[in-house]
A and B are shown apart, each in its own frame.
Chain A
Amino acid sequence: MAVASISVAETPLVLYTLRRADDALVLGHRLSEWSGQAPMLEEDMALANMGLDLLGQARELYAYAAQVEGKGNDEDKFAYLRDVRQYRNLLLVEQPNGDFARTMVRQFFYAAFGDLYWRAMMKSRDAILAAIAAKSEKESAYHVRHSSEWIVRLGDGTEESHARAQDAIDDLWAFTGEMFDVDGSERALIDSGIAVDPESLRSRWLKVVSDIVGEATLILPKSNWMQQGGRDGRHSEHLGHLLSELQSMQRTFPGAAW
């Protein structure tokens, strides 16, 4: 690689903002991988549109993180010039697309959380985060509605679509716990009214997810064992591959612009 990674001064607010920005960027990138390959034209457009929403959210969050950090980093540097260990996204969002059912289950788990999360964040005492939340919550609401409909359609569809949706739920379930994890640096932000305590969203998230999964004649796993690590930069092998594609241009031709 021809260009070195940046260093980031991860104060609590910078880290908090980067974590959410990375969630949106990585999931948005995953959705963009479907472009031209979705099962039907309408879904091709839907996935690209949702990817675009997430990319927009990521840009606003990166721009804010850069402003708070004040070290000359910007949204492009955060996206293109951090190594895999510097990414702070949830393990859930970096999981490969797999088949359409897997993409929809991943989307549903995340969007159902994002919908509640951004709505709650509109009351953040941080004016910029509250403003970003006010846009994101409407977008998330469309994402959760879209993926909910697909979960029901796939689960309550054919034998094969049901089996694929159930497989995806079984495999991805262990990545949902991380959405509710809070570490010391976030606890302080929660206490000062800047961040939302995700624990306060858990029962509502579980109800949304259980209702839809039930309607889809699917089953949520009983296991409570959850994967962790993304928030601290310990990722599954998949993120490195994703970043090598996402970053290849800037790493190979530093500062390339057009």
Chain B
Amino acid sequence: MVIAMFDDAELRQRAWDVAASVVDPEIPVLTIADLGVLREVTVDDGRAEVTITPTYSGCPAMNIIALEIELALEREGFRQSKVRTVLSPAWTTDWMSEHGRRKLHEYGIAPPQAAGSRRALFGVEQVACPQCGSKNTEVLSEFGSTSCKALWRCKNCREPFDYFKCH
């Protein structure tokens, strides 16, 4: 058994790395660590407990993510791992890593702008086209293919694109 070779801190780090490698099923370039969904990992007697926080209240990806974490830990030798969901503090797109934002952009999704405050969220939004970089863009719909995205269009290159909404 692999686990026996590690001390507590190493085990915890290992469990963290395993959980952190799980990707969002809707946006497979982003890991849950990139998203800021992964909050805490503890290991007790070889059993890992992973704490995650939901993005949107109704996000159907959360169930899949929890299952994927359990399966990934199982594969790495952590038996009977548990995933716990906490609501507080509430997730915000500000927790998305710089690395995650870059990957999102390369994937063709405009990353969320730094919200700062809630009202900034509803100020003048200027979203750059992830294809051509132009800021001459317009919103087509506030609600896109998943609850975290809006649908935009670039008026320069005429391509539609997803925008990861501030939250």
- Listed in ascending order, the chain A residues whose CB lies under 8 Å from chain B are 42-43, 45-46, 49-50, 52-57, 59-60, 127-128, 130-132, 134-139, 141-142, 145-146
Contacts and interface: CB of A to CB of B under 8 A. Distances in A.
Interface stretch (B31-39, B41-49, B139-147): B139-147
Contacts of B147: 49, 52-53
Interface residues of B, number: 24
B87 A132 contact: yes
Interface in B55-71: 56-60
Contact of B90 (A49, A135, A146): A135
Nearest to B55: A135
A55 B58 contact: yes
A208 to B, nearest CB: 13
Given A46-B143, A52-B59, A134-B87, 10 more contacts: A42-B141, A49-B143, A49-B147, A52-B56, A52-B58, A53-B57, A55-B57, A59-B58, A135-B87, A141-B121
A52 B56 CA distance: 9
Contacts of B56: 52-53, 56, 135, 139
B59 A131 contact: no
Interface of B: 54, 56-60, 87-91, 118, 121-122, 140-145, 147, 151, 165, 167
A48 B88 CA distance: 26
Given A131-B87, A145-B122, A45 B57 contact: no
B81 to A, nearest CB: 21
B143 A138 contact: no
A127 B88 contact: yes
B122 A45 contact: no
Contacts of A46: 141-143
Given A42-B151, A141-B122, A142-B165, A135 B140 contact: no
A45 B145 contact: yes
Q: At the interface, is chain B mostly helix, strand, loop or mixed?
A: loop
A57 B58 contact: yes
A250 to B, nearest CB: 19
Contacts of B90: 131, 134-135
B57 A139 contact: yes
Contact of A135 (B57, B141, B144, B165): B57
Given A42-B151, A141-B118, A142-B165, A131 B58 contact: no
Q: Which 7 A-B pairs have the closest CB atoms?
A: A56-B58, A56-B57, A131-B88, A134-B90, A131-B87, A42-B141, A46-B143
Contacts of A52: 56, 58-60, 147
Contacts of B121: 138, 141
A145 B54 CA distance: 23
28 contacts: A42-B140, A45-B143, A45-B144, A46-B141, A49-B144, A49-B147, A52-B56, A52-B60, A53-B58, A54-B58, A56-B56, A56-B58, A60-B87, A128-B88, A130-B88, A134-B90, A135-B57, A137-B118, A139-B56, A139-B57, A141-B118, A141-B121, A142-B143, A142-B165, A145-B122, A145-B142, A146-B142, A146-B143
A57 B59 CA distance: 10
A45 to B, nearest CB: 5
B166 to A, nearest CB: 8
Contacts of B57: 53, 55-57, 59-60, 132, 135-136, 139
A54 B57 CA distance: 8
A236 B11 CA distance: 58
A128 B87 CA distance: 8
Nearest to B147: A49
Most B C-beta atoms less than 10 A away, residue of A131, A138, A142:
A138
